[in-house]
Amino acid sequence: MTSQFFNPMAQINDNFLKLKAGYLFPEIARRVKSYQDEHPDAKIIRLGIGDVVKSLTPTIAHAFHEGVDEMTSDSSFRGYGPEQGYAFLRELIAKHDFNSRGANISADEIFISDGSKCDSGNIQEIFGLNNVIAVSDPVYPVYVDTNVMAGRTGEANQQGQYEGLVYMPCCAENNFTPELPQSHVDIIYLCSPNNPTGTVMTRDQLKAWVEYAKKESAIILFDAAYEAFISEADKPHSIYEIEGARDVAIEFRSFSKSAGFTGVRCAFTVVPKTLMAKSETGAEVSVHALWNRRHCTKFNGVCYPVQKATAAIYSEAGQSEVRGLIKGYMENAALVRDRFLARGLKVYGGVNAPYIWVQAPNGMGSWDLFDKLLHEAQVVGTPGAGFGAGGEGYFRISAFAHRENVLEALDRIEKVF
């Protein structure tokens, strides 16, 4: 049957073929599993993927149970909720996370979702394919990969950088903070506190970005998933603390790391109603309306008991418990930071973020250090190169671990070097 060669056939989205290797964390999981299979007795300590280890706190768990109980009686049962999330939760968020910090964000500008990875991955759908996209390097891979899949890039070069994206180098010289691009860009992904480098942007730096976006009619996609870990009082938690940011920025937040929700799934995105972008005809279009349409068409809202549990985070008891979780992780971060500094390593982050970004010693490559630590110390970190060419030669250590494991890992690492 030669005719089959001329037969039309369902076609894939070829952009997927441009993606390099697996998504970072599955690749790490693969290497760890392979090592564990060969060494079934090895006690591997995971400081890699940045997953929390401390259980849900009592107040949050209590509300979670209450939510489930409500679902077990016809009179209090809740079916489909609003796609945007329940008002009771959105109002708490607006008040506690924004209004209390002088940021003018209202409940109906907030969209509850099941994760920041989803939101920061999906947000590009509402923008045109011709926008010029800027990302920092190193970068959280989701920003890049989702734009590749959508067709906003060409192929990747040897360093894994995709044609058509504007990379903003973050390195020791600029303290791992992206600088304003020399040429015009339309959409800028910023992440502060930063994943992976653990650095945080100052008020003045954010101000400069808001001004840039105003001047260039650009939009900032501001990922603040780690804002709860900011310890220095003068650092902004939200981009909306900067005047005018409402008109140029979308912000992503998550309960994954702050409240231990990585297995529970709740996050939110803020799209101010004053944020506009242009259509092909040059007309200004509400970005909020587009995201709302996307959310209503492709999403069905977050599990009700989860939203109820999330609301409990904002109670007095919930706040106090969550602060306790964060304090524990940040003490881990300080331990790692101090021990590494004492060994003469170059260390960033760990003060306003749960990540320590460390330069691999002796000019080692990131994946080489990953394999060395896995094989010789049974410690899993994240190779900086997994976050882009700019991360080569660096390594990310996560503070999300039990204290005894952090101490044990530090002892083991010190023996290797």
Using CB under 8 A as the binding rule, the residues of this chain from 199 to 238 that contact its own copies are 216-219
Decide whether 171 or 285 has the Cβ nearer to its own copies: 285
List the interface residues with its own copies, window 132-171 (CB under 8 A).
132, 141-142, 145-146, 149
Q: Does 297 bind its own copies (CB under 8 A)?
A: yes
Count of residues touching its own copies (by CB under 8 A): 94
The nearest distance, CB 149 to its own copies, in angstroms, is: 7
Q: Are 237 and 251 in contact (CB under 8 A)?
A: no
Helix (H, G, I), strand (E, B) or coil at 133: strand
Decide whether 50 or 393 has the Cβ nearer to its own copies: 50
Joined tokens for residue 31? 């290497």
Q: Are 275 and 250 in contact (CB under 8 A)?
A: yes
Half-sphere exposure of 238 (CA within 13 A, CB side): 28
- 272 φ/ψ angles, rounded to the nearest 5 degrees: -65, 145
Which residue bears the tokens 């706190």?
A: 57
Q: Does 341 bind its own copies (CB under 8 A)?
A: no
Stretch that binds its own copies, among 234-242, 300-308, 319-327, 372-380 (CB under 8 A): 300-308
Q: Does 328 bind its own copies (CB under 8 A)?
A: no
Half-sphere exposure of 51 (CA within 13 A, CB side): 13
What element of type H or E holds 278? Answer: strand 276-278
Q: Does 10 bind its own copies (CB under 8 A)?
A: yes
In the set 1, 2, 9, 100, which binds its own copies (CB under 8 A)? 9
The nearest distance, CB 60 to its own copies, in angstroms, is: 9
Decide whether 133 or 351 has the Cβ nearer to its own copies: 133
The nearest distance, CB 353 to its own copies, in angstroms, is: 18
Which residue bears the tokens 């509400």?
A: 286
Helix (H, G, I), strand (E, B) or coil at 131: coil
Distance between CA atoms of 202 and 234, rounded to whole angstroms?
8
The nearest distance, CB 265 to its own copies, in angstroms, is: 5
The nearest distance, CB 308 to its own copies, in angstroms, is: 11
Stretch that binds its own copies, among 35-43, 122-130, 238-246, 355-363 (CB under 8 A): 122-130
Q: Are 242 and 229 in contact (CB under 8 A)?
A: no
